[in-house]
Amino acid sequence: MKNLIFSGMQPTGALHLGNYLGALKQWVDLQDEHNCIFCIVDYHAMTIDYNPKKMPERITELALDYLAAGLDPEKSIIFIQSHVPEHTELAWIFNTITPLGELERMTQFKEKSAQHRKNVNAGLFTYPILQAADILLYKADRVPVGEDQVQHVEMTRDIAKKFNKKFNKTFPEPKPILTEAARIMSPTDPTKKMSKSLGDKHYIALTDSADVIRKKIRSAVTDTSQGADSPGVKNLFAILEAFDEDAAKGFKMEHKSGSLKYSDLKDVVANTIIGHLAPFQERRRELEAEKERVAEILINGADQAQKIAQKTMQEVRKKIGVR
Ligand code: TYM
């Protein structure tokens, strides 16, 4: 059965291996079987301090990442959230049916408000409502994301249910799609998820050079005192498995029998990452010379997205009694 897939990422700088293995890699595969819409969520990226002068560049960078990874505008709709103002319109309507208590439970809000103490704004709090609007505006029923976004997708489902109950059936109840690598950890502190906000040593960027990748993986923490449950070793296995299942199987067997050398595992993990990122980095360099074409792709994508969005909004306005 064909699903309607929606997902998005924030234009907040270089993508890392977690973004790729948890989300982007599966987006590329999903495009062949399903109707897919992929968004660059710039309004979400405004909820933390940012430099407005750098925003256009960050949006373009993310578009380059999407396309270099293999998102194909012939197969999927690719666009920028702020180009389709219906997103914020629907978010307002959802604001009026979302209980504060549910927003207060959101782990990401708790983490981010602790991280950005000086800028705990209302947008950071209502962030998941805009995310629900992103998804439901297109009546998407599947959302491919990493594990940290599951709570937001569940909230989207609750909002859909609530709207349907109050104003009659309008929206599907979307579910997340997770990969085996839905939670890639920091190589330096494998008890924390890979994330840019922790600092340079805590993530492997898709644009990192071979040398940098080797260095980061070689110094990855593999605390052996916890045996097979060492989070660092588990993380290396998860990364290897996502790229090369057979290689991971072999090492896992060695690990079980106690003959695994971590330096060997690290060499193979580093080489595997480098080998898989090389074609991505090459395509990305080529696309950099075609920024005008990339801008065109995003404008076309917004046109296609807005047609669907307008239809949903017509229906929604009628149902809530404003038109
Ligand atoms: P964002 O931009 O933080 O992250 C983009 C995607 O990468 C996944 N991810 C990870 N997966 C595995 N391991 C990790 N260490 C890791 N870190 C990040 C995230 O789960 C995500 O799938 N709120 C969203 C953006 C958004 C969205 C949406 C997503 C806005 N509207 C509608 C889906 C549908 C976010 O902040 O993702």
Structure confidence by residue, pLDDT tens digits, 256-303: 888 888 999 999 999 999 999 999 999 999 999 999 999 999 999 999
Q: Which domain holds residue 228?
A: 196-285
Q: Are 243 and 273 in contact (CB under 8 A)?
A: yes
Task: Please write the tens of the pLDDT for every residue from 4-30.
Answer: 999 999 999 999 999 999 999 999 999
Rounded to the nearest whole angstrom, what is the distance from the C-alpha of residue 257 to the centroid of ligand 1? 37
Does some domain include residue 143?
yes
Residue for token pair 């959802």: 94
* Pocket of ligand 1, beta carbon within 6 A: 6-10, 18-19, 22-23, 41, 44, 131, 134-135, 143, 145-146, 148-149, 152, 182-184, 193-195
Are residues 94 and 59 part of one domain? yes
**Span from the CA of 200 to the centroid of ligand 1 (angstroms):** 19
CATH number of the domain encompassing residue 82: 3.40.50.620
Within a domain: 189: no
Within-domain flag for 190: no
Among protein residues, the one with the nearest Cα to ligand 1's atom 9 is 19
pLDDT per position as a tens digit, 68-117: 999 999 999 999 999 999 999 999 999 999 999 999 999 999 999 999 99
153 and 77 assigned to the same domain:
yes
Q: Exposed, middle or buried, 277 (CB in 10 Å: 0-12/13-18/19+)?
A: buried
Query: Does 116 share its domain with 219?
Result: no
Is 252 tagged catalytic?
no
Please, which contacts does 175-178 make with residues 24 or more away whose CB atoms are closer than 8 Å? 175/141, 175/142, 175/143, 176/142, 176/143, 176/144, 176/145, 176/149, 176/150, 177/5, 177/26, 177/30, 177/142, 177/143, 177/144, 177/145, 178/22, 178/144, 178/145, 178/146, 178/147, 178/150
Q: Are residues 139 and 202 in the same domain?
A: no
Q: Are residues 160 and 108 in the same domain?
A: yes
Compute the distance from residue 233 Cα to the ligand 1 centre, in Å.
24
Mark whether 233 and 308 lie in a shared domain.
no
Amino acid at site 48: I
According to the model, what pLDDT value does residue 108 have? Answer: 94
Ligand 1 centroid to Cα of residue 144, in Å, is 9
Structure tokens at 82: 């702020």
Whether 9 and 26 share a structural domain: yes
Choosing from 75, 139, 162, 196, the catalytic residue is 196
Residue 13 in any domain: the answer is: yes
Active site (annotated) includes residue 216? no
47 and 175 in one domain? yes
Shared-domain flag, residues 205 and 172: no
C-beta neighbour count of 112 within 10 angstroms: 18
110 flagged as catalytic: no
